[in-house]
Structure 1
Amino acid sequence: MKKIIFLLSGLILINCSKSNGEKQEVKADLMEVISEDKAPSSAAAPIPPPSYISEKMASDENGTNKDVYTPKKTDTISRKIIKNGDMKIQVGDIKKAQRQVNDILKKNNAYIQKEDFQNTDLDDNLNLIIRVPHKNFDVLISSFSDGIGSVLSKNISSNDVTEEYTDVSIKLANKKIYLEKYRDMLKSAATTKDMLEIQEKIRELEDEIDVAEGRLRFIDDRVNYSTLSLNLYKEKVRSSATSKIGFGSRFVDSVTEGWNSFVSFMLGIVSLWPFFLLIPFIIFFWRKWKSGKKNKN
């Protein structure tokens, strides 16, 4: 009986060892398959980074040009030209001319920034400050020259500010780079003194950046929208009625001017009061001198 039990237990142990061996062989096969599947992916060429990142990494590895801003080819700035104009046009009717001006402005997407009207005995003057897209500036000038009235004067000027715009843009980009570096330094500041000094530098850079950005916005506005100063002038016909009005106003002005002259004269005399105080002494000494002279005779 004991022999039978030993034989059975021996058979069981042999079967278990075979099954474990088979499992190990299966695991080995799986590992080989997995390694074969991973090999091609690891051998594949990595995706290259963008050119500007690779350039920055190369410069950082060489230890040079870490803090230098190098504009990309796409950072080229187009020419910045500011156009301004000044025109004076004589018209027959101010209101009619103003309606014509408004129609021309609508066609050219322009608008009136400032309007000033003056009415005198001699003439009427309507002064307009007009802003117009730079591409419509020449068309606007031609429209005013042809269909409004007689052009008395015209002055057109162009100012190329490309160099100034480029210089401000480059300085602005560099200031932003330094600002980020100071902000990183602020995070790792060890003492309160260092923190205050870095915060002061950050504040100065932020102010300079605001000024530079404001200057760029101003230049862009002047470049995108040209400015035209337009004066509509109408000379009044001097009729008998206007002549009377003109004479009356001049007469009143003359009376007023005469009164002002009289007041100025009186005030001038009053300002000489110290000399008037000396007159009695002068008269007294003169009489005394005269009486003494008579006594000697």
Structure 2
Amino acid sequence: MKKRSRTLICILTALLAVAMLLMTSCGKGSDSGIDRDNASSGYYGDKASGTEEASPAPGLLDTPDGDGTQKLIRTCTVEAETRDFDAASASLNERISRFDGYVESQKSSGSSYGASKSSRLLTVTVRIPADKFGDFVTGLGDIMNVTSAASNVENVTETYYDAEARLATLKAERESLQKMMASLDNAKQYDFWLTLQKRLSETEQDIASLEARLRSYDNRVAYSTVTLTMREVIEFTPTETPTFAARISKAFTSSWRSFAEFWQDFAVFFVSALPTLCVIAVIAVTVIIIVVASAKKRKNKN
């Protein structure tokens, strides 16, 4: 009788171990799935590399090196609001002129609060000399309420000088082709002359393309780009730090959300493991019935 009891206990222990292993593996798979979902949805943070949010980092607004060897393209995106749209627009135009900049593009929409409930919106792209870029952006807070700003610096030094070297090579090639063509007798070497003419035409096109690219780099390096979006508002966006009660409320909400997500994950696991658990339960019940019936049969014989 004791031997049969030990056998029954061993079988049940083995079945329980299998069930625990199954639960552990499913739990790990569920956790990894949650981690992947969180990572893909930006749950662990949404800051983009190479971009400073809220306010431009001081290093990104510094003036470029005096030697001019570094080819740096600086850009900044600013979002702001104002309660006096007309005055802020006039001050912005005055500031652009004072910093020797110019408006590259501009778009406005909406109407004043006096004429409609919709607010006015100004989107303007401004080009500012690189050595005045930092002072211009920093001073925008004096004429409007800056709610966010993001700055970026693109170093095109290597690309620029590679293009310059390529341009010098093409110009030397063009000069050689022109000399060769001038020395040929068109009547006797017409086919070869046509080949040189075709190559010269291709070289001229490459030179024009590189010169246009270098001019674009020169312009973007010399004049930094500021993209400003200014919205008309009745009241400024509050920037107060959260109170103690707000922090408590946020912590409670986050804890409750985690609690709910745990039970959701458990329900998903239970449903996914239900077929296997049913099979294990049937096997366990069958074994128990067989062992109990065998024990009763032997007991009756005795």
With structure 1 as the length reference, what TM-score do the two structures score? 0.52
Runs of 4+ in structure 1 deviating by more than 3 angstroms, as ranges, are none
After superposition, residues 97-136 of structure 1 pair within 5 angstroms as: 97-119=88-110, 121-136=117-132
Tell me the equivalent position of 2:298: none
For the aligned residue pairs, the C-alpha RMSD in angstroms reads 1.6
Task: Please state whether the residue corresponding to 1:199 is helix, strand or coil.
Answer: helix
List runs of 5+ in structure 1 lacking aligned partners: 1-75, 238-297
Q: Deviations over 1:140-165 (max 9, x none)?
A: 001102x1222111011110000000
Q: Which has the higher contact order (CA 8 A, sep 6+)?
A: 2
Give the Cα separation in 2 of the matches to 1:115 and 1:171. Answer: 36
Instruction: Tell me, in whole angstroms, the C-alpha distance in 1 between the residues paired with 2:205 and 2:167.
Output: 11
TM-score by length of 2: 0.51
The structure number with the bigger radius of gyration is 1
State the distance in 1 between where 2:169 and 2:139 align: 45
Q: Alignment identity in percent?
A: 25
- Map of 1:148-297 to 2, 5 A cutoff? 148-190=143-185, 191-235=189-233
CA contact (8 A) 1:112 1:129 kept: yes
* Cα deviation code 1:34-92 (max 9, x no counterpart): xxxxxxxxxxxxxxxxxxxxxxxxxxxxxxxxxxxxxxxxxx97110000111011111
Q: Which amino acid aligns with 2:152?
A: S
Conservation of the 8 A alpha-carbon contact between 1:84 and 1:228? yes
Within 2, Cα distance between the matches of 1:231 and 1:77? 31
SS at match of 2:229: strand
Quote the Cα distance in structure 1 between the aligned partners of 2:193 and 2:68: 38
Aligned length: 161
Residues 1:92 and 2:86 are matched in the alignment: no
SS of the counterpart of 1:117? strand
Structure with the larger helix share: 1
Superposed, which structure 2 residues align to 1:4-19 within 5 Å?
none
Structure 2: runs of 5 or more not aligned = 1-66, 112-116, 236-302
CA contact (8 A) 1:124 1:236 kept: no
Give the C-alpha shift of residue 122 in structure 1: 3.4
1:229-257 Cα shifts (integer Å, max 9, x gaps): 111111358xxxxxxxxxxxxxxxxxxxx
Give the whole-Å Cα distance in 2 for the aligned partners of 1:124 and 1:234.
Answer: 5
The structural deviation recorded for 1:138 is 0.2
Distance apart, 1:217 and its partner CA: 0.3
Distance 1:77 1:108, change over 3 A: closer
